[in-house]
Chain A
Amino acid sequence: MSTFVQITFSGLATGAIYALVAVGFALLWQTAGAINFAHGEFIVLPAVIILILGEQRPTLGVPEWVPAVGGTELAGPLPEIGIIAAFAITIPIAILLLGYVFKASLVDRLLTPGGDDIPLVIATIGLGLVIREYLRLEFGATPQQFPSIFGTEVWRPGGVAISADDVGILAVSIVVILALQMFLRRTYTGWQMEAAAQNPNTARVLGIPVGRMIFYTFGINAVLVTIAALLVSPTTNARWDGGISLGLFAFTAAIIGGFNQVRGALFGGFLVGLLQNWSGYYLSSAYREAIPLVLMILVILWRPQGLFGIAEERTI
């Protein structure tokens, strides 16, 4: 029994991360109709940036003769700032790169209203290749250890081993998800985003800046992947090709839960995490990744809109 509780708990923690990523995925699909095949690389990239900023003391290209500002020498390696501070710096970088630049340079150009979504799919596959290969060359092919911000402690209440990392992941994810739900449901901007997602034309007529709302979604997605990067990297390590399976499982979560519903993506995320851990322990550790994939194929066969999704009528 205690083993089951233990496995379920760490499954929930894994699932929480998938849920975060899947929600970002679903938001992009809802509001912009964009599908991002580089989504997994969008998690690896912030992880690497956090790691470099926080621990590896990068050198900026500042020449020696530049005078010190406020007591800090600008030339030479940056001070070691720790993971949390690095995370804080990475968020605006992620919003800029993975939000603004991604939207302006690819999504806006490739997604024409009523057009085909395949060019964007192809371009994001290409983008994923670029990020993966660039990281492999610049950052190295060996996985880099990523410290957990919650420490490595393990508590044993009543014979159940529960790690601080899992507790922290679960707590942070739930707070983030609740905050996001509050934002989407309770604030004026959240309503506007919802309106822009449901019917862009009507929203525009009502004076809602649809373009800006769509940008907000990309921003939220960038923040979500950065948080996911911070949470998932201690277990997966920061590795150049980690994005392929992360992205695939986030998508699996989204399609199992239902792509057009935020709560569907949430549910799917937790389900995929739990299934992976349960099947990994009770069935076969070699096939822990296989069960969610099989479930996804079954869901697509029986209920293509997902377990929680609402069937969409697509105009031709």
Chain B
Amino acid sequence: MKTVASTAELRSETEAVTTVDRGAMSWPLAILSVVTTALVVTLPLGRSEFAGIMWLWLVALGGVLTLNLLVPMETWTGVVVKWVTLSGCLAFLLVFPIGRAASTLLDMGLFAVFGMVCVGTNLVHGFAGKVTLAQAAFLGIGAYVSVLFDTGREIAVASVTVTLPNLPFLLAIGIAGLTCMVFSVLIGFPALRVQGPWLAFVTLAFNLLVYLVLNNEEGLTEGSRGIRILRDDVTVFGIDLASGRNYYYFCLVFLIAATLLVWWIVRSPWGRAFKALRDNPARAASLGVDIRTYTLLAFSISAGLAGVAGALYARLIEFVDPRGFYIGQSFDFFLATVVGGLGTLVGPFIGVSFITILTDRLRIAGDYYRVWFGLFVVVMMLLAPKGVAGSFNELRARLQKRRREHGAKET
């Protein structure tokens, strides 16, 4: 394992030095990039309370990234800056929802729930290097499983009627996560044999299959009518989750736990194996990294996170229907993760604010935000394929190199 780690590090070193020059930066592209970025960043302003908060959040994260860019990480100041800014971000998420309208709190909850999904996607794509487009399916499975298990519903599948137990909410969340992990192993075991785009299509196919089942098994899911499910009787450890703010904090706890989990995985020997895998699968395999098990592990952890998120999502919007788990939603999660920055811990937090703004603004008729977001993705792939946070990392590596060279010259 030690060798793997060091080669992975070596690889990331060389990668940072030989940054791929994407060549011709033409005028139309430059103009397009400026216009789309400006629109995507400024359109949310002054539209709704939530969009305003998200805008501030993006600005704050931008500030944090810039600060970390300017202060060298190796020094003590760098470490202090890093931790102070991180706690600042956490404080932002804790303080801002206080005294907000119910609709804003709902959207903040969506931010936390979708954030969890993106954190999982980031683990699979950013760290293990596999494209997955089935996150909405896992979100859906999680949502329906939790709804089925904590309301004591009667289900009928193929003329067999079963009354399900009425389990506590936390247990239902756990079951939702575990069910998704089981499904992910079932689909991932065959599917992870194929690479890149093929895997993307297989996961898409899985997503459509799940959607069809959710839509057609009316005895199980009520089909397209959806299930209305209220939150007013949910308490966890004696805390009443009926109020929007309490529930948002509840979701936030899960989001932070998910982030810490991924952070821990990335730091552990597993994570190093993941990185080795992403950077060069063949070399990782030759060094004895069991590619399949590790990728399957990443895949199932991300599915589990999406499942837990699904359980939270069902109670957040107090209604589940199959349309929320269609392929388009998977695309959104995927694009959000990519735009935020693959393989970085901040990335999902940047990306998810875009898609929650999208969901928020979908309620406004004739809104062009999604078109601009799509263009923003395209332009980003052309100019900064590593996403927002990834580009900051790249810049920092370049600055570090310059500093090092500068230092070498002086001595």
Contacts and interface: CB of A to CB of B under 8 A. Distances in A.
Given A109-B382, A290-B209, A297-B206, A125 B377 contact: yes
B53 interface: no
A119 B385 contact: yes
B230 interface: no
Interface string A103-146: 00110011010011111111101111110111001000000000
B385 A244 contact: no
Contacts of B374: 126-130, 133
Nearest to B377: A126
Interface string B382-410: 10010000000000000000000000000
B381 A301 contact: no
A126 B332 CA distance: 9
Given A106-B378, A129-B331, A286 B200 contact: no
A252 B209 CA distance: 13
A134 B381 contact: no
Interface residues of A, number: 46
B208 A293 contact: yes
B203 to A, nearest CB: 10
B354 to A, nearest CB: 12
A228 interface: no
A126 B327 contact: no
Contacts of B198: 255, 300, 304
Interface string B191-216: 10110111011101110110010011
Contacts of A132: 328
Contacts of B193: 300-301, 304
Contacts of A127: 374, 378
B190 interface: yes
Interface in A207-247: 241, 244-245
Is chain A's interface secondary structure helix, strand, loop, or mixed overall? helix
Is chain B's interface secondary structure helix, strand, loop, or mixed overall? helix
Interface in B195-249: 196-198, 200-202, 204-206, 208-209, 212, 215-216
Contacts of A248: 201, 204-205, 208, 327
Contact of A117 (B194, B197, B201, B382): B197
A35 interface: yes
A287 B217 CA distance: 10
B246 to A, nearest CB: 35
Interface in A21-77: 35, 37
Contact of A137 (B191, B282, B366): B366
A170 interface: no
Contacts of A112: 20
A249 to B, nearest CB: 10
A35 B197 contact: yes
A301 B190 contact: yes
A121 B202 contact: no
Given A112-B20, A121-B131, A286 B328 contact: no
A300 B196 CA distance: 13
B299 to A, nearest CB: 15
A178 interface: no
A200 B375 CA distance: 32
Interface in B325-359: 327-328, 331, 334-335, 338
Contacts of A287: 212, 216
B194 A123 contact: no
Interface string A152-163: 000000000000
Contacts of A251: 201
A300 B233 CA distance: 46
A205 interface: no
A293 B205 contact: yes
B373 A121 contact: no
Contacts of A116: 196
Contacts of B200: 37, 121
A121 B197 contact: yes
Interface string B5-32: 0000000000000001011100001000
A129 B197 contact: no
B368 A129 contact: no
A182 interface: no
A289 interface: yes
A129 B370 contact: yes
A294 interface: yes
A130 B380 CA distance: 14
Contacts of A304: 193-194, 198
A206 interface: no
Contact of A286 (B209, B212, B377): B212
B67 interface: no
Contacts of B194: 300, 304
A130 B209 contact: no
A133 B331 CA distance: 13
A196 interface: no
B371 A255 contact: no
A251 B335 CA distance: 20
A125 B334 contact: yes
A5 B366 CA distance: 46
Counting from the closest, the 10 A-B pairs by CB-CB distance are A126-B377, A130-B374, A129-B374, A123-B381, A286-B216, A301-B190, A133-B370, A293-B205, A126-B378, A35-B197
Interface of A: 35, 37, 105-106, 109-110, 112, 115-123, 125-130, 132-134, 137, 241, 244-245, 248, 251-252, 255, 284, 286-287, 289-290, 293-294, 296-297, 300-301, 304, 316
Given A130-B371, A133-B370, A304-B194, 16 more contacts: A35-B197, A106-B378, A109-B23, A116-B196, A121-B131, A121-B200, A122-B377, A123-B377, A123-B378, A126-B335, A129-B370, A132-B328, A293-B209, A300-B193, A300-B198, A304-B198
15 contacts: A109-B22, A120-B381, A121-B131, A122-B377, A129-B335, A130-B374, A130-B375, A133-B371, A248-B205, A286-B216, A287-B216, A294-B209, A296-B201, A300-B193, A304-B194
